[in-house]
Amino acid sequence: MNNKTFYNEILTEHNRFPAHKHPIENPDFSMVGVNPSCGDDIVLNLKVKDGIITDGSYEGSGCAVSQASADIMLDLVIGRSIDEAKHLADIFMRMIKDSITDEELEELEEAAALQDISHMPSRVKCAVLGWRTMNEIFDDSEEE
């Protein structure tokens, strides 16, 4: 299967049947993420216990890329430590800039399907919205 077909199938699946697009009660962290250039917005909610992301969700609206990327991100980080989630976010951001190894690409699992976004400058901010919001949540919590 070529990358473009895989990319389209992943985006379609996560847009039609998002696993994490719903409210959750009493999140430990909640932050609004906005992409003003195209109007995407999400509210990212995370539950964290003993440094492990135990649950997460997002709400909001936007293009297929922003919404699917947030859903894919949550699939990847739920059940992992904050440090692991930050590590994956770092890899994802570098992937979008086209500078990761094959081993790092494998770590991203389904999120690796978004690699071609690096060749679509107008979609980069859409793809990184959820990841950037998650990083901001953890950066803000470290400052407190």
Q: Which residue has the higher pLDDT, 5 or 79?
A: 79
Q: What is the pLDDT of residue 38?
A: 83
Q: What is the pLDDT of residue 70?
A: 97
Number of domains in the chain: 1
Report helix, strand or coil for 78. coil
Q: What is the pLDDT of residue 24?
A: 96
Q: Is the pTM of this model over 0.85?
A: yes
- Structural domain of 52: 2-143
pLDDT digits (tens, 9 = 90+) for 66-114: 999 999 999 999 999 999 999 999 999 999 987 899 999 999 999 998 9
Q: What is the pLDDT of residue 118?
A: 83
DSSP string, 105-136: HHHTGGGGGGGGGGG-HHHHHHHHHHHHHHHH
Task: Give the residue among 78, 72, 62, 57 at the shortest CA–CA distance from 11.
Answer: 72
pLDDT digits (tens, 9 = 90+) for 6-22: 668 888 899 899 999 99
Is the confidence at residue 1, as pLDDT, over 80?
no
pLDDT digits (tens, 9 = 90+) for 24-68: 999 999 999 999 888 899 999 999 999 999 999 999 999 999 999
Q: What is the pLDDT of residue 144?
A: 65
Q: What is the CATH number of the domain that holds 112?
A: 3.90.1010.10
- Contact present, 77 and 102 (Cβ < 8 Å): no
Q: What is the pLDDT of residue 130?
A: 97
Q: What is the pLDDT of residue 19?
A: 97
User: Please, which residues have CB within 8 angstroms of residue 69's CB and are 6 or more apart in sequence?
Assistant: 111, 114, 126, 127, 128, 129, 130, 131
